[in-house]
Amino acid sequence: MDIFETIVAKAAGLTAGSPLTAVLNLRSEILELTENSHEASLRPNQPGGLKRSERAGLACRIAKRNNDPVLAKHYESMFGVGSQAIADTGFDGGDDARLKAIIRHTDLVTLNPKEATASDITELLSAGLDDADIVRLSELIAFISYQVRVIAGLRLMAEVA
């Protein structure tokens, strides 16, 4: 795998010849597993009750909540039916109770995970998500929260290097 073809390296603006090349090569396995995790979260073989188009929309929304327009743009390239609305941070799900619960939970856990309580899980169950969908949604939010910080860190490192 070419480390400069990974989403985190591209979003951080790193290209071949970057002064960070040597240290990134030492952690190439981690970059590869990060890329695999992106596929598992965004384009799983078995998406269950969380469609790929919904995942792309939520991922874009999370990137926007983290003030990362470059990563948000990457997720826009994966949009399908309905993604655009979900990615709009002014949209709360409207009349769709299931979507509303998903968006509310995504914003909460992205911005302020410490405030999440047992009742937030109960709300998702009440809105029709099953246990597996709740884990799928949690992994998606949690993965993008990781990815966006790796990118932020790499950008700062590139500025200093």
Partner 1 sequence: MSEPIKYFTTTVPFWQPRVTPVELENATEEQLEAMKVTVSNTKIGEYTLVLALDPETLKQRTPLFNGIMYSRGGLSRAETELGAVAASVVNRCIYCAAVHANRYNELTKDETVMDSIFASSENTGEDSGIDPRQMALLDFATKLSKCPSEATKADVERLMENGLGVGEVLDLVLSASLFGWANRLMHVLGDPLPQD
Shortest CB 144 distance to partner 1, Å: 9
Q: At what angle do helices 28-42 and 131-160 cross, to 10 degrees?
A: 140
The CA distance from 109 to 67, in Å, is: 16
Shortest CB 88 distance to partner 1, Å: 18
Shortest CB 140 distance to partner 1, Å: 8
Choice between 95 and 124, CB closer to partner 1 = 124
Residues near partner 1 (CB under 8 A) are: 19-20, 22-24, 26-27, 29-30, 33-34, 36-37, 40-41, 44-46, 48, 65-68, 109-114, 116, 118, 120-121, 131-132, 134-136, 138-139, 141-143, 145-150, 152-154, 156-157, 159-161
Choice between 59 and 134, CB closer to partner 1 = 134
63 burial level (CB within 10 Å; 0-12, 13-18, 19+): buried
8 burial level (CB within 10 Å; 0-12, 13-18, 19+): buried
Q: How many helices (H) and strands (E) does the chain have?
A: 9, 0
Choice between 69 and 94, CB closer to partner 1 = 69
